[in-house]
């Protein structure tokens, strides 16, 4: 696995418009997210469509709240461990929203967002943990990233992902 000009060579590249330049170049945080669309259903194109602004929000009742939402993440790791990259690591993805970590606001400015296809209450797969650990180790080596946290850690009270189903001890034993 390698990174070239902010791109993970192993990942399928799917550019998202939902990004912009980082206001600073320091990348010091990885934020782990969990996502499924519709909630609790895996597979299908809906995460990709959300990040590329092509999601048909009339398709499922639960999508109505996503109308006009503009979000992205740097990476998505699906249940089989397959990786898609939507935003270069050198750019700012719109993944954390209103957030802060250790007194620093706007975590998108200094973090990399990694989405795991999953749900707060469904265990993540072995393939996801392995790929996530490999990617995090590579990001540490390439950018000197020092911290890995969950979305709930940077947006407490607003977000709960990656949820109680994410095994932090197991993940940390892999990196």
Q: What is the DSSP letter of 94?
A: S
Instruction: Give the pLDDT of residue 25.
Output: 65
Distance CA(50)–CA(56), nearest Å, equals 9
Angle at 37 between CA 31 and CA 43, to 5 degrees: 95
- Pick the closest to residue 128 from 171, 59, 81, 175 (CA basis): 81
Which two tokens mark 73? 């993440």
Distance CA(160)–CA(76), nearest Å, equals 18
Q: What is the mean pLDDT of residues 110-131?
A: 97
Q: What CATH class is the domain 3-174?
A: alpha beta
pTM over 0.95: yes
Higher pLDDT, residue 25 or 9: 9
CB 114 within 8 A of CB 31: yes
Instruction: Give the pLDDT of residue 24.
Output: 74
pLDDT tens, position by position, 20-72: 999 876 899 999 999 999 999 999 999 999 999 999 999 999 999 999 999 99
Distance CA(35)–CA(137), nearest Å, equals 22
* Strand-pair partners of 150: 32
What percent of the residues of the chain are helix, what percent strand, and what percent coil, each to the nearest 5? Answer: 25, 25, 50
Q: What is the mean pLDDT of residues 14-22?
A: 97
Which two tokens mark 37? 């669309």
Q: What is the mean pLDDT of residues 81-108?
A: 97
CB 76 within 8 A of CB 86: yes
Give the model's confidence band at 105: pLDDT under 50 very low, under 70 low, under 90 confident, else very high: very high
- Pick the closest to residue 5 from 85, 83, 73, 113 (CA basis): 85
Over pLDDT 70: what percentage of the chain?
Answer: 99
Distance CA(20)–CA(68), nearest Å, equals 18
CB atoms within 10 A of CB 137: 14
Q: Which residues are catalytic?
A: 115
């Amino acid at each position: 696995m390698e990174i070239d000009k902010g791109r993970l060579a192993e990942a399928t590249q799917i550019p998202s418009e939902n990004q912009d330049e980082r206001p600073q170049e320091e990348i010091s945080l990885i934020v782990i997210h969990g996502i499924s669309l519709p909630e609790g259903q895996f597979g299908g194109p809906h995460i990709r469509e959300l990040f590329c602004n092509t999601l048909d929000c009339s398709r499922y009742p639960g999508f109505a709240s996503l109308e006009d939402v503009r979000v992205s993440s740097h990476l998505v790791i699906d249940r089989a461990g397959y990786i898609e990259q939507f935003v270069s690591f050198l750019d700012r993805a719109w993944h954390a929203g209103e957030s802060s970590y250790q007194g620093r606001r706007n975590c998108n400015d200094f973090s990399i967002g990694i989405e795991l296809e999953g749900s707060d209450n469904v265990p993540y797969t072995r393939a996801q943990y392995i790929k996530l650990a490999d990617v995090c180790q590579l990001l540490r080596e390439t950018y000197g990233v020092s911290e890995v946290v969950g979305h709930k850690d940077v947006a407490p009270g607003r977000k709960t992902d990656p949820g109680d189903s994410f095994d932090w001890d197991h993940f940390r034993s892999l990196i």
